[in-house]
A and B are shown apart, each in its own frame.
Chain A
Amino acid sequence: MTGADLPVWAAWLVVVLAVAGAAFSLTGALGLVRLRTFYERVHAPTLGATLGMALILCGSMLLLSLIEGRLVLRDALIGVFLTVTTPVTLLLLARAAAHRDRHEGDPDAPPRP
């Protein structure tokens, strides 16, 4: 089966999943602009790295499974590795920001744990 002769319901489902995932990622990017402080902003891109990523991967797995005529779960690995590695980046960013703010004596600096 090629992409062209996909049943209509499947095509719609794939489109809905992909667009919903993209919408969550876009909302996350918008959050970077709209939110005010560093600590608020860090929350925003997580949208794209969690639900946005999951929805797009579900759409991709569904499409590939239908086209190849068997269950294709390869994309799930992207989700696993992304989920496992994102905390490292966020943790380093948060620690660096906390260190900077405390060092500068910023009144909004995080308290000591």
Chain B
Amino acid sequence: MSRILPYPLLSAALALTWLLLNAPLTPGGVLLALLVGLAVPHVMRALRPPAVRVRAPATLARLAGIVLYDMVRSNIDVARVILGLRRGTRRTGFVAIPLDLREPFGLAVLSIILTATPGTLWVQYDSDTGRLLMHLLDDADGDAWIRRVKDRYERPLMEIFGCHPTPTSPS
């Protein structure tokens, strides 16, 4: 299995991309897609990236739904701020979030999630302390956002990439 398909997810993604680009399905197109999916990941072997393992597909689907909902809601929130429709004072500022997630793939996905939801900006992640510095356009009152990132995004990501939360001292 691992000799023929070193990175099964990459193979599947490449084949699917090929099929989408050459849209009307033809037997020849499917054959080429399979060839691309089988051959190209072997080039990646030279770089030796660790293979991605997705352990909880159901959690992944639920997380995708949550992110989609948050993306739409935060887009509307930020649009209201820009257009001056938001009443009251805006509390913009930086928030540091202690993360338990250390898995590089998990962190990469978290950065995509935080970028896909306007209003949150990933500023800096310190791999020594595991703390993430974020800039918030609104509601920078700290705890609510820390809880939101940890409960809504970090915990599902740790389940998906199969790492177990390690108890850390509160900081």
Please indicate whether A and B come from the same complex rather than being unrelated chains.
Answer: yes
Are A50 and B17 CB-contacts (below 8 A) given A27-B82, A110-B124? no
Q: Which DSSP category, helix, strand, loop or mixed, fits chain B's interface?
A: mixed
Residue total for A at the interface (Cβ-Cβ under 8 A): 38
Q: What residues of A have a CB within 8 angstroms of the CB of B72 in the complex?
A: 51
For the complex, what is the distance from the CA of A31 to the CA of B71, rounded to whole Å?
Answer: 17
Q: What residues of A have a CB within 8 angstroms of the CB of B23 in the complex?
A: 70, 72-74
What per-residue 1/0 map shows which CB atoms of B95-133 lie under 8 Å from chain A? 010000000000000011011111111111110010111
Which one of A24, A34, A98, A113 contacts B96 once the chains associate, using CB atoms below 8 Å? A113
- B75 near A95 (CB under 8 angstroms)? no
Interface: A13 (CB within 8 A) = no
Which one of A44, A74, A83, A84 contacts B82 once the chains associate, using CB atoms below 8 Å? A44
What per-residue 1/0 map shows which CB atoms of B18-56 lie under 8 Å from chain A? 001101100000000000000000000000000000000
For the complex, what is the distance from the CA of A49 to the CA of B24, rounded to whole Å?
Answer: 28
Interface: B78 (CB within 8 A) = yes
Q: What residues of A have a CB within 8 angstroms of the CB of B129 in the complex?
A: 113
Interface: B94 (CB within 8 A) = yes
- A50 near B118 (CB under 8 angstroms)? yes
Shortest CB-to-CB span from A74 to chain B, Å, is 5
For the complex, what is the distance from the CA of A42 to the CA of B82, rounded to whole Å?
Answer: 12
For the complex, what is the distance from the CA of A10 to the CA of B122, rounded to whole Å?
Answer: 39
Interface: B66 (CB within 8 A) = no
Q: Which DSSP category, helix, strand, loop or mixed, fits chain A's interface?
A: helix
Q: What residues of B have a CB within 8 angstroms of the CB of A76 in the complex?
A: 20
Among B71, B83, B116, B129, chain A packs the most CB atoms within 10 A around the CB of: B116
Which one of A30, A39, A47, A94 contacts B118 once the chains associate, using CB atoms below 8 Å? A47
Question: 8 Å CB contacts to B: which residues of A49-98?
Answer: 50-52, 54, 70, 72-74, 76-77, 83-84, 86-87, 90-91, 94-95, 98
Which one of B21, B71, B121, B126 contacts A77 once the chains associate, using CB atoms below 8 Å? B21
Chain A residue nearest to B137 (CB atoms) is: A43
Are A74 and B125 CB-contacts (below 8 A) given A24-B75, A91-B111? no
- B133 near A111 (CB under 8 angstroms)? yes
For the complex, what is the distance from the CA of A47 to the CA of B120, rounded to whole Å?
Answer: 12
Shortest CB-to-CB span from A84 to chain B, Å, is 6
Q: What residues of B have a CB within 8 angstroms of the CB of A30 in the complex?
A: 82-83
Residues of A at the B interface (CB closer than 8 Å) are: 24, 27-28, 30-31, 34-35, 37, 39-40, 42-44, 46-47, 50-52, 54, 70, 72-74, 76-77, 83-84, 86-87, 90-91, 94-95, 98, 110-113
Residues of B at the A interface (CB closer than 8 Å) are: 17, 20-21, 23-24, 71-72, 75, 78-79, 81-84, 92, 94, 96, 111-112, 114-126, 129, 131-133, 135, 137
